[in-house]
Amino acid sequence: MSSTSAATVAAGKNPIVLFGPSGTGKSTLLKRLFEEHPEEFGFSVSNTTRKPRAGEVNGKDYHFLTRDQFIKAIENKEFIEHAEFSGNMYGTTIRAVRDVAEAGKTCILDIDVQGVKSVKGTDLGARFIFIAPPSEEELERRLRSRGTDDEASILKRLQTAKAELEYGKQPSACDIKIVNDDLEGAYKALVGFIFGNSQE
Ligand SMILES: Nc1ncnc2c1ncn2[C@@H]1O[C@H](COP(=O)(O)OP(=O)(O)OP(=O)(O)O)[C@@H](O)[C@H]1O
C-alpha cells in the first residue's frame, strides 16, 4: 500500500504501479494515457548489461552497466526487479524511478507481482493499480488474438496469470482494481483514480 513515506519523491509525483496478468491490457491503457498526457508521465530508464546499439544513449535509452556493476547493484539492493534474457541482465532501480519524479513527472511502472512486492518494500510512496481481465477465457482470447506469442508462451502466461489473479484478490494487493472489460470504461477508471487522488 502507499502508506510509506513519500518524502524522497517530488511532491505529488508518487509513482503509479500497474500490474496484472499478461494480456489484460496494461500496455493498451498506458499507450493512451501517454498519448493524452505526454507531459505528465514517464517511464524509468532501465539498466542493462547488453552492449549499446548504434544510436542508443547511455542514461536515456538504458543505463549501460558492466556485469560486475550490475551484480554489485543487486547486492546493494538497488533494484526493484531484475531478470536475465538471452545472456543479458536487465532491471529497474529505485534510483531510476526517483529520477522521473525529480524530472517533474509521475513514473509509471508496468511490473510483475514480484516487482510489486519489491516496490512495497521501498519508501517510493507508490500507488498500486491492479488491471484484471473480465475472465480467464477472455484473457486467453486476447493473448491469442494479439498474435505476438507462440503456443508455449501463451500457456506459460496463462499459468502465471492464475497466481497473479490470486494475489490481486488480496485486499492489500492494490489501491484500486480495474476490470478491463470495456476499454473506454477501464481507461476512464484509470484516469479517474490517477488524477482524482493526486490533485488535492
Ligand atoms: N478492453 C479490451 N477489450 C478487448 N481487447 C482488449 C482490451 N484491452 C486490450 N485488449 C487487447 O488485448 C490484447 C492484450 O493487451 P495488451 O498487450 O495491452 O496487454 P498487456 O497487459 O500489456 O500484456 P503484457 O503484460 O504481455 O505486455 C491486445 O491485443 C489488446 O489490443
Instruction: Place 11 in a pLDDT band, splitting at 50, 70 and 90.
Output: low
Q: What percent of the chain is predicted at pLDDT more than 70?
A: 92
20 CA: nearest ligand 1 atom: 21
pLDDT of residue 12: 75
pLDDT digits (tens, 9 = 90+) for 142-176: 999 999 999 999 999 999 999 999 999 999 999 99
- How far, in Å, CA of 119 to CA of 14, rounded? 12
ipTM value, please give it.
0.96
Residue 92 has pLDDT above 80, yes or no: yes
Q: Which three cell numbers stand for residue 55?
A: 544510436
pLDDT of residue 199: 43
144 and 154 Cβ atoms separated by less than 8 Å: yes
Residue 4 has pLDDT above 50, yes or no: no
Count of residues in the chain = 200
Binding pocket residue ranges, ligand 1, CB within 6 Å? 22-28, 142, 145-146, 180, 183, 186
Residue at grid coordinates 477472455: 138
Give the burial string for 113-149 (b: 16+ CB within 10 Å, else e): bebbebbbebebbbbbbbbbbeeeeebbebbeeeeee
CATH homologous superfamily, domain 16-198: P-loop containing nucleotide triphosphate hydrolases (3.40.50.300)
> Which protein residue has the closest C-alpha to ligand 1 atom 14?
23
pLDDT of residue 198: 46
- pTM for the model stands at 0.91
- Find, among 82, 45, 79, the residue nearest to 64 by Cα: 45
Residue 99 has pLDDT above 70, yes or no: yes
Residues in CB range of 35: below 8 A, 6 or more apart: none
